[in-house]
Structure 1
Amino acid sequence: MDIDKYKVSQPIQLHQTVTKEVVEDADKKLKKLRKKISKLQDTMYAEGKYSILVCLQGMDTSGKDSLIREVFKDVNARGVVVHSFKVPTELELKHDFMWRHYEALPPKGKIGVFNRTHYENVLVTRVHPDYVFSENIPTVTGIEDLDDDFYHSRMERINQFEKHWSDNGVIILKFFLNLSKGEQKNRLLRRLHIPEKNWKFSPGDLKERKLWDKYQECYEDVLNKTSTTHAPWYVVPADDKDTARYIVAKTLLNEMEKYNFKEPALDDEVLDKLHEFVNQLNKE
């Protein structure tokens, strides 16, 4: 599979992108990939030079939660840290819009997953600009201040932050789960028809669905302005969940293999005494 075809390396138009691809036996292929990812994460942890940040964005029902569960199932539980960003708390609103995301970056050796990300600050807030007022920004006095320049400025600051993170050893991969409106309808109906799925449904899902075109417009702008060499976006067809999970896992594995992670070498003094240590244990 040519993973690069999903990477945003030139301007795109979302209405021209594919929302459904089907990889044969994607679930079986995923099992092999995640075992390799697990081994590489162990080595990355031992080396202690890099961390990985996986960013997941997508419309409601695009499959973010289940993707996290399936892709990282075989990775050491202590090697993956997942953050799901909700409405900012009172404390978070007293800081700049990136503060809570900076705090959640994965330490060296670990994989961090942002389930919804710092890009909510230029997506949801752009669709619902009144949300920004709760940040109490001195330069924002009215809705007229929340124009394209305001959000493009935020995107530029996000690019700067991500470059800083990358320069300090964070490997950044960003995935937009590209769901069709028709498939979202099917998944919402499934939540309504299956009793054990009812809890996942919220009337707010239908209100947001009415804003589908506005969200698509905002996503397209974000993808085109914030996909960089050090923090690329991948537009992943999400109508088939197994295939979407496989594409994300394959992209992650391909990137990890580029870094040739290595376990640290033992000190010569310890290395010279390995047989002695073995003998000590065998004599117990």
Structure 2
Amino acid sequence: MPIPSITATRRALVATPGRPFDLASRDSGDRSLFDDKETAKTSLKKDAAVINELKDKLYAEKKRSLLVVLQGMDTSGKSGTIKGVFSDTTPLGMEVKAFKAPSSNELARDYLWRVHNAVPAKGRIGIFDRSHYEDVLVVKVRGFAPAETVEQRYGQINAFEKHLAENDVTIVKCMLNVGHEEQGIRLAERLEEPHKLWKFNPADLEDRKLWPEFMSAYETAVARCSTRHAPWYVIPADSRTWRNAMIARLVRGALEDMKLEWPGSKYKPGEFSIG
């Protein structure tokens, strides 16, 4: 089977705006888009190279920006996705923001303040490792805000993302859908492998105990906030290779849709002499 088209990839992964969404029906181990691991690797390698070229055009043009939102449970591979998808991408014009627990300064402001401050400037690709969706996920599951406050946030988030889209920010939102069993394997790896031990956080085990609650919160967030201007893509994340290849297809597609061109110059050929 050849590499799937970007259109086919989108259709397979999108949570269609305005339609019911059932997270349980999305297999975290689904590998149907790529025939085998080598095909997925080949696709990723090709897309990574094109993403780098298009990123340079985006940076030179400085009219639009791309925001890639990576949201998922612990061990779903947010940092691994960044490393894999942007493996050929030079740092110029790239921004990565990892959202941790808000600081006292951030808590003193509205919850979108710190997010809006991190939106990439025109000409740049910004990547969110976690995002504003934490405020309808962990905040909801852990009861850090009243239920009525969380309920208001779905509409606020949609309005915020629409505002960004109307101001030349293209948004690609990816939910990294890792399975409960696979997460257990990866958490165990963090305790067993020295180079992964630093990633282990006992709080991850507490979140794991609340798996059904988190899955329900993710299902609601995807259903309520998958819109025409910022649809959600649900990425099977049990395989790192397949995960990265799928997201690379989506990122490349978003950049290609911009129809980027190298900007012209006010100077004419031959106007200057190089001594």
| TM-score, normalised relative to structure 2 | 0.92
Aligned pair count reads 261
Q: Distance in 1 between matches of 2:271 and 2:81?
A: 47
Q: Report the equivalent of 2:250.
A: 251
- Judge which range, 149-158 or 181-190, deviates more: 149-158
Q: CA deviation at 1:47?
A: 1.6
- Judge which range, 159-168 or 11-20, deviates more: 11-20
Q: CA deviation at 1:196?
A: 2.7
Q: Report the equivalent of 2:23.
A: 14
Q: Distance in 1 between matches of 2:126 and 2:26?
A: 28
Q: Report the equivalent of 1:96.
A: 110
Q: Report the equivalent of 1:172.
A: 171
Q: Report the equivalent of 1:31.
A: 45
Q: CA deviation at 1:276?
A: 4.2
Q: Distance in 2 between matches of 1:196 and 1:44?
A: 35
Which of 47, 63, 76 matches 1:49? Answer: 63
Secondary structure of the residue that 1:114 maps to in structure 2? strand
**Which amino acid counterpart does residue 259 of structure 1 have in structure 2?**
M
Q: Distance in 2 between matches of 1:75 and 1:195?
A: 28
Q: Report the equivalent of 1:135.
A: none
**Which amino acid counterpart does residue 275 of structure 1 have in structure 2?**
G
Secondary structure of the residue that 2:15 maps to in structure 1? coil
Q: Find out whether 1:225 has 2:188 as its counterpart.
A: no
Q: Distance in 2 between matches of 1:259 and 1:202?
A: 40
Q: Report the equivalent of 2:204.
A: 205
- Judge which range, 113-122 or 5-14, deviates more: 5-14
Q: Report the equivalent of 1:136.
A: none
Please give the per-residue CA displacement for 1:236-268, whole angstroms capped at 9, x wherever unaligned: 00000110001001011112111211122222x
Q: Distance in 2 between matches of 1:197 and 1:174?
A: 27
Q: Distance in 2 between matches of 1:124 and 1:173?
A: 21
Q: Distance in 2 between matches of 1:41 and 1:197?
A: 31
Unaligned stretches of 5+ residues in structure 1: 133-145
- Aligned-residue sequence identity (percent) comes to 39
Q: Find out whether 1:108 has 2:122 as its counterpart.
A: yes
Secondary structure of the residue that 2:235 maps to in structure 1? strand
Q: CA deviation at 1:27?
A: 2.2
Structure showing greater Rg: 1
- Judge which range, 195-204 or 91-100, deviates more: 195-204
Q: Distance in 1 between matches of 2:271 and 2:256?
A: 35
**Which amino acid counterpart does residue 129 of structure 2 have in structure 1?**
N
Between Structure 1 and Structure 2, the one with more helix by share is 1
Q: CA deviation at 1:275?
A: 2.2
Q: Distance in 2 between matches of 1:202 and 1:41?
A: 34
| TM-score, normalised relative to structure 1 | 0.89
**Which amino acid counterpart does residue 64 of structure 2 have in structure 1?**
Y
Q: CA deviation at 1:21?
A: 2.8
Q: CA RMSD in A?
A: 1.2
Secondary structure of the residue that 1:195 maps to in structure 2? coil
Q: CA deviation at 1:46?
A: 1.6
Q: CA deviation at 1:151?
A: 1.7
Q: Find out whether 1:124 has 2:119 as its counterpart.
A: no
